[in-house]
Structure 1
């Protein structure tokens, strides 16, 4: 049975999140609801385990979630509608979230919670497991934006259908005996800067590695990766950064001799 990591203080975590959200750049010249309200509302959806933005809005209307509680816990003065929330969140540049993840990680270190995630010592130094994987979070055959990945799908009659979507590369520090994980700042997998070429999970992983090494230069990591990463260039890159790794390889795949 998995053990529990030390519980962090919710109030302190929320204060860090609110402080960082308050620094996000506001693009709207005129607005009634501050950007931090949109961001804290989206955070509240996850913190209160609402199934969706729409159900969160409905729960508020039905008084299953009380405005007083939202204000005291998340400092939300006014909750935007489901549609309005989506529209505004889509305008936020993803790199603005990075300092938030850094501050939360620093708090986790100061609180000694990170120490519980130590997996093993190598040459006397604590090492941690970091599991990364790609995932899709938006798919459509009609809705498309400039950053959408474009995939060609063919049916049995060889008729092609274009599908548009957004993927993400997520990484979290994990431990086999702990139920909790420590998420790192994710890396989007999408067409960037108006590029006509699709991004890829491995290219996103290269960006993830560079950012992670810059932000946590002394942290000793064992990367947990799937068979997609079982190739020479990725293994060479991991070694150049000084990371250990465990890569799952399918039985049908040729063995790598390192």
Structure 2
């Protein structure tokens, strides 16, 4: 099959599987050098960001008694970031590992400001009392610096920064331990005439925004928590993802008022108010259009698609054969009695590709169809960029959810059954994920991440700090060298 693809001019996607070979190091000296290089490079990347973060953390009002403070607030915040950078999945795990004498000595070598490591509960008590939004502000300030430095300029789509927005459940509990938790009924429905009631489940749901670039790099941007808060008249009303979208969109606009943005959204957001907000902010968008959603738009698209043969395009992308078809300037009416309207553009992509059936070992052909709403008119010049390099990479934010939930970041772990502290740990986790993502796609460490895999590379660096691998003089010399973050 691969030979046939090559003869047809198709390019199968490269495999990202780590090498399955034995250890490449020939002796202790070679391994020590590799470990020292990996650790010092990660620290140099972090040192490019720490001045911004520590300056912002230093402005957070400290609620503790001045005479009882043992660890500075900035030290505690740095400790919290390191917990997630090295992927410790709980407070107990970080207590047991980070405070080992060798680990602590190596950390002080790399971070002189860490004169002594705190207990994990000390960080918890701090996060429970401070304004954790300051962590989000520090995160945004770091992103703003990266954008000003044009770090991501090569990955723009139609000169816009692609931002994916999607929601994810963080965790669920059978008991209500905080009034902000959302709730839902679970279990089979009971007989209306019976006195029995369904059980309630209480959960935390977060709407996330991330920069989703076409090279697979996903940069965490913002988090908006859905909260079950009192409304007027003390009536409690459930929050929802679309309401949270408007709050999150307003925050993004306030943080980046002049940034050209392309939103990458799933079918939940294909509605008039959301597209109207995007228009008012002068944002571009590509939104999934599902079957049965916006029936008037579908009707007009199907009636006009065959009348414009010039609005078609066929191409080969990777190992897939694609046929694009689009209709521009479709009037979509919404609101009470259809008083509001806006103009949208619809594009569909039919594609097929060959795979090997794992059961029969035969070559079979698979088919798929994708349909999107576009804020800009489609043409042969931009359909590939907007669809393949923009809209399709909305999957990046869903892939990031899988990474944060199942690959070391403890997304589904509360870390604290206290609402403010739980949010603080979540924001620190997203900040650490940002640091590790930049390290993964940096030219200095990309080869190591490809060779070992992401989790294995982080484990390689973490294990280096647990043993006597680092020579203080050599580490000091390496950390003094000039360094600039460069991405692939």
1:57 to 95, 110, 123: 95
1:117 aligns with 2:155: yes
Provide the secondary structure at the position in 2 that maps to 1:250.
coil
With over 3 angstroms needed to count, the CA separation of the structure-2 counterparts of 1:95 and 1:58, relative to structure 1, is: same
CA–CA distance in 2 between the matches of 1:116 and 1:52? 37
1:174-213 counterparts in 2 under 5 A?
174-177=212-215, 179-192=216-229, 196-213=236-253
Deviation at 1:13, TM superposition (A): 0.6
1:129 positional shift:
0.9
Does the 8 A contact of 1:132 with 1:223 survive in 2? yes
**Secondary structure class of the residue paired with 1:92:** coil
CA distance in 2, matches of 1:182, 1:90: 26
Quote the residue 1:138 is aligned against: 171
Taking CA–CA contacts closer than 8 Å with sequence separation of 6 or more, which of the two structures ends up with the larger relative contact order? 2
Q: Tell whether the 8 Å contact from 1:133 to 1:225 is kept in structure 2 after alignment.
A: yes
What displacement does 1:100 show?
A: 0.8
For 1:240, the equivalent position in structure 2 comes to 280
Hey, what's the Cα distance between the residues in 1 that align with 2:112 and 2:178? 31
Residue 12 of structure 1 corresponds to which residue in structure 2? 48
Q: 1:67 and 1:198 mapped to 2: Cα distance? A: 49
> Separation in 1 of the partners of 2:275 and 2:295?
14
Aligned to 1:184, the other structure's residue is in SS state strand
**Structure 1 Cα separation of the partners of residues 126 and 146 of structure 2:** 30
Q: Output the CA distance in 1 between the equivalents of 2:288 and 2:101.
A: 48
When Rg is computed on C-alpha atoms for both structures, the one with the higher figure is: 2
- Which residue among 185, 188, 193 is the counterpart of 1:152? 185
Summarize the Cα distance change of 1:47–1:62 in structure 2 as closer, same or farther, 3 Å threshold: same
Q: Could you state the TM-score of these two structures normalised by the residue count of structure 2?
A: 0.46
SS in structure 2 at match of 1:66: helix
**Superposed displacement of residue 154, structure 1:** 3.5
* Aligned residue number for residue 222 of structure 1: 262
Q: Is residue 34 of structure 1 aligned with residue 62 of structure 2?
A: no
1:25 corresponds, among 61, 74, 86, to 61
* Greater percentage in helix: 2
Q: Deviations over 1:237-258 (max 9, x none)?
A: 1111111111123334344623
Distance of aligned partners of 1:165 and 1:104 in 2 relative to their CA distance in 1, 3 Å threshold: same
Q: Is the 8 A contact 2:155 2:214 kept in 1?
A: no
Point out where structure 2 has 5 or more consecutive residues left out of the alignment: 1-13, 16-41, 192-196, 298-343, 345-488
Take 2:128 and 2:225, find their aligned partners in 1: how far apart are those partners?
Answer: 13
On the 8 A contact 1:173/1:181 being kept in 2, the answer is: yes
Structure 2 Cα separation of the partners of residues 138 and 190 of structure 1: 13
* Residues matched between the structures, number: 248
The answer as to whether partners of 1:117 and 1:173 remain within 8 angstroms in 2 is no
Q: Is the 8 A contact 2:189 2:198 kept in 1?
A: no
1:117–1:174 contact (8 Å) kept in structure 2: no
In structure 2, which of residues 98, 110, 127 is the aligned counterpart of residue 72 of structure 1? 110
- Which segment is superposed worse, 188-197 or 220-229? 188-197
Pairwise CA distance, 1:113: 0.7
Please give the secondary structure, in 2, of the residue aligned with 1:51.
coil
Residues in 2 aligned to 1:131 and 1:28: alpha-carbon distance in whole angstroms: 38
1:10/1:198 Cα in 2 relative to 1: closer, same or farther (>3 Å)?
same
Distance in structure 2 (CA, Å) of the matches to 1:172 and 1:239: 20
Q: Tell me, in whole angstroms, the C-alpha distance in 1 between the residues paired with 2:102 and 2:229.
A: 41
